[in-house]
């Protein structure tokens, strides 16, 4: 018999060799039908895999990320089997589960090109194979056996992966006529997969290397029930309407130019105004929390980033060094702001009485993202972080960390992000070479985050292996208006950069001590944040934030002079208004302004010019009637004031 410990610390005995599915059946038949994977002593397993010794377990269903992972990982194998039947010369790269579904990178051979038109027949073949109820069978083989198997199949991509593995046991998974190199986990059989949607076809370089062969990447998603697919299709239709690239163009916020370079956004006047509004809002909040603004260069000497460790860890993802013409010095486009802020801290001697010190900067940084990974504003090569670095004493650390959480709460309230989870991202204790610094400092940093999160009453999950290379962090995962998850806002505790930069302060004991550093970026980056905000709101920003609060529309050229008078009056009252004096019909002007999500439409004609009034329409609400210019000014200013006072009450 073996002892199985459940998440509530209940312990039950089972026969050795029982599986997660067997344990689920012992609890209830309904649970057994829902369970998809199992965590055994912190490792995710197939629910059909036998457990032969005492273990702590957690069963996962579709509601859990671990359950979806097993489901979509199995679906990637099912799609590979379908591709193998439809395209016999296919060779396989990798096929992981991702946040929303899965993909597989394949080489179809013989110059075969796949397009979106081919996806329905692949879906149909997958459904046909799923109904066969083929089991996902795990077998363990030696490295030599694995190499021999894939060599016979002429699978060069798999052979490359196997050659990089250490000697020892390697796991295969087989379902039907398809066998793959894989560590799992997988479903018991293919019949769990009831509904399938293949979304797109893209190109992807093997191992992400532009010098390697370009493979075909097929993206898909599957579900255990047809109704889940129907809900997904509705969500995706809504997502298309909210796509920040589409809205950004319609609202004239940003653009890209091949002449400037891929992944380098150009902010148009309205987008620049939106960014300025966000920056000014955060600056006001930060001022109340004692932050000071700093400015640092866009480049830095390469030795700065070697000291910080960024060059060692991320040098390959940075733009290559720039050499000065005369001296031959090497500089990097700034990939991070934190090393620069460390140098500002070192500007003069520090006492414990000076701490905490809080430096904030909207600092633009540059990182080389491969062209295939670029996506609108969410994945770019040039972006501006709402960065800040706090330097504090050990006894100040937890309190300062909690104050940063308060700032993030203020931002979420201001922008109506209500559904979020705080992810505590800790180190992977097995792969220690990913990180810098001592275990002692890591232990202290991780404990501070765990305790501060608990004291703030956060709904948290712990993810191992997701820490930054210099310290653990707290990441805020929000759900937008249509249920998609985004990572926004991060707070990191760092004992290591202060050591590498030899930062010091004189304590009350008159001895020198190291400060602790907190990295934080509530928005993350202005680019990504604006993209998420656009898709969350559908472009309908709160009035305090929107770049154009009102547009004035004369019904004909005769009333342009009066419209300009209204414009001047509103602008003089700090209302962001614009004039649409195009020679177009008023209906066209209204439709165009609706597309640009302008909150208030001010229509002026003979009646308004004679009476000194304006006719007001609110986007989505229709006609609000006639008001004097002063009444409208007071009305719109009160709406902004009410919004801001509600935020600042937090």
- Kindly give the pairing relationship between strand 419-426 and strand 512-513: unpaired
341 is in an annotated binding site: no
Is residue 536 marked as binding? no
Bridge partners, 5 (sequence order): 11, 56
User: Is 501 in contact with 342 (CB distance < 8 Å)?
Assistant: yes
Out of 91, 519, 528, 596, the active site residue is 519
Cα-based distances in Å from 239 to 232, 278, 481, 550, 604: 10, 24, 10, 27, 36
**Beta strands at 178-181 and 299-301: parallel, antiparallel or unpaired:** unpaired
C-alpha R_g of the chain:
29
**What does the alpha-carbon distance between residue 382 and residue 71 come to, in Å, rounded to a whole number?**
36
Which residue is associated with the tokens 């603004």? 293
Q: Given 46, 387, 475, 580, which residue is catalytic?
A: 387
Q: How far is CA 243 from CA 238, 433, 534, in A?
A: 9, 39, 8
Query: Which residue among 389, 403, 528, 597 is the active-site one?
Result: 389
Q: What is the rounded CA–CA span in Å between residue 73 and residue 60?
A: 14
DSSP reduced 3-state for 513: strand
- Active-site residue flag, 341: no
End-to-end CA distance of the chain: 55
Asked if 392 is an active-site residue, the reply is no
Token pair listed for 189? 């059989």
Query: Distance (Å, rounded) from C-alpha 248 to C-alpha 255?
Result: 8
One DSSP character per residue, 150-212 reads HHHTT-HHHHHHHHTSPSSEEEEEEETTEEEE------SBGGG--EEEEEEEEEEEGGG-TTS
Dig out the tokens for 567 from the structure: 């414009």
Q: Which residues, in sequence order, are CB contacts of 5 under 8 Å at separation 6+?
A: 11, 54, 55, 56, 57
Q: Check if the beta carbon of residue 385 is closer than 8 Å to that of residue 524.
A: yes
Known binder of ligand: residue 182? no
Alpha-carbon distances of 163 from 144, 170, 173, 610, rounded to whole Å? 10, 11, 18, 84
Query: H-helix or E-strand containing 128?
Result: helix 119-130
Out of 338, 350, 492, 520, the active site residue is 338
Is residue 310 part of the annotated active site? The answer reads: no
- Judge whether 245 counts as a catalytic residue: no
Active-site pick, 84, 175, 286, 385: 385
Cα(268)–Cα(45) distance, rounded to whole angstroms?
50
Which residues are known to be catalytic?
A: 338, 367, 385, 387, 389, 473, 519
- Residues annotated within the binding site for Zn(2+) are 338, 389, 519
- Residues annotated within the binding site are 338, 389, 519
């Amino acid at each position: 018999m073996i002892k199985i410990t459940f998440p509530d610390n209940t312990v039950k005995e089972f026969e050795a060799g029982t599986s997660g599915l067997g344990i689920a059946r012992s609890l209830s038949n309904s649970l057994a039908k829902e369970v998809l994977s199992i965590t055994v002593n912190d490792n995710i397993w197939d629910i059909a895999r036998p457990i032969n010794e005492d273990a702590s377990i957690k069963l996962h269903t579709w509601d859990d990320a671990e359950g979806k992972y097993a489901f979509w990982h199995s679906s990637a194998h099912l799609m590979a089997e379908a591709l193998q039947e439809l395209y016999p010369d296919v060779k396989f790269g990798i096929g992981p589960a991702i946040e929303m579904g899965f993909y597989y990178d394949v080489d179809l051979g013989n110059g075969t090109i796949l397009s979106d038109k081919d996806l329905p027949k692949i879906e149909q073949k997958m459904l046909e194979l799923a109904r066969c109820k083929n089991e996902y069978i795990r077998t363990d083989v030696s490295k030599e056996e694995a190499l021999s198997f894939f060599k016979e199949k002429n699978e060069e991509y798999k052979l490359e992966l196997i050659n990089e593995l250490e000697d020892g046991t390697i796991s295969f998974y087989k379902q039907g006529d398809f066998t793959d190199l894989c560590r799992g986990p997988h479903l018991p059989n293919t019949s769990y997969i009831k509904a399938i949607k293949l979304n797109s076809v893209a190109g992807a370089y093997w191992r992400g290397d532009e010098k390697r062969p370009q493979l075909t990447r097929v993206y898909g998603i599957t579900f255990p029930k047809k109704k889940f697919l129907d809900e997904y299709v509705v969500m995706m239709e809504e997502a298309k309407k909210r796509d920040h690239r589409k809205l950004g163009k319609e609202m004239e916020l940003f653009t890209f130019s091949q002449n400037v370079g891929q992944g380098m956004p150009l902010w148009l006047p309205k987008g620049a105004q939106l960014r300025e509004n966000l920056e000014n809002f955060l600056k006001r909040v930060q001022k109340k929390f004692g932050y000071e603004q700093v400015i640092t260069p866009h480049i830095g000497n390469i030795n700065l980033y070697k000291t910080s460790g960024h060059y060692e860890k991320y040098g390959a993802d940075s733009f290559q060094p720039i050499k000065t013409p005369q001296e031959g010095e090497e500089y990097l486009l700034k990939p991070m702001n934190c090393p620069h802020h460390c140098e500002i801290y070192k500007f003069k001697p520090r006492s414990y009485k000076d701490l905490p010190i809080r430096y904030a900067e909207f600092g633009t940084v540059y990182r080389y993202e491969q062209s295939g990974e670029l996506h609108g504003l969410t994945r770019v090569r040039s972006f501006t972080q709402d960065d800040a670095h706090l330097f504090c004493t050990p006894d100040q650390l937890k309190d300062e960390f909690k104050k940063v959480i308060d700032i993030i709460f203020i931002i979420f309230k201001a922008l109506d992000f209500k559904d979020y989870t705080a992810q505590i991202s800790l180190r992977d204790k097995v792969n220690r070479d990913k990180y810098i610094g001592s275990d002692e400092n890591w232990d202290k940093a991780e404990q501070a985050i765990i305790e501060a999160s608990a004291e703030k009453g956060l709904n948290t999950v712990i993810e191992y292996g997701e820490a930054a290379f210099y310290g653990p962090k707290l990441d805020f995962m929000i759900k937008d208006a249509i249920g998609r998850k985004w990572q926004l806002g991060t707070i990191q505790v760092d004992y290591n950069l202060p050591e590498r930069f030899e930062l010091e302060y004189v304590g009350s004991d008159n001895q020198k001590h190291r400060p602790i550093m907190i990295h934080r970026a509530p928005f993350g980056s202005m680019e990504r944040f604006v993209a998420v905000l656009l898709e969350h709101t559908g472009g309908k920003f709160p009035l305090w934030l929107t770049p154009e609060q009102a547009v004035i529309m004369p019904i004909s050229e005769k009333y342009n002079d009066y419209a300009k008078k209204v414009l001047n009056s509103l602008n003089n009252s700090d209302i962001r208004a614009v004039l649409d004096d195009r020679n177009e019909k008023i209906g066209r002007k209204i439709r165009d302004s609706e597309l640009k999500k302008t909150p208030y439409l001010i229509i002026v004609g003979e009646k308004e010019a004679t009476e000194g009034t304006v006719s007001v329409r609110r986007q989505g609400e229709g006609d609000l009637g006639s008001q004097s210019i002063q009444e409208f000014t007071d009305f719109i200013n009160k709406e902004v004031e009410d919004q801001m006072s509600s935020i600042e009450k937090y």
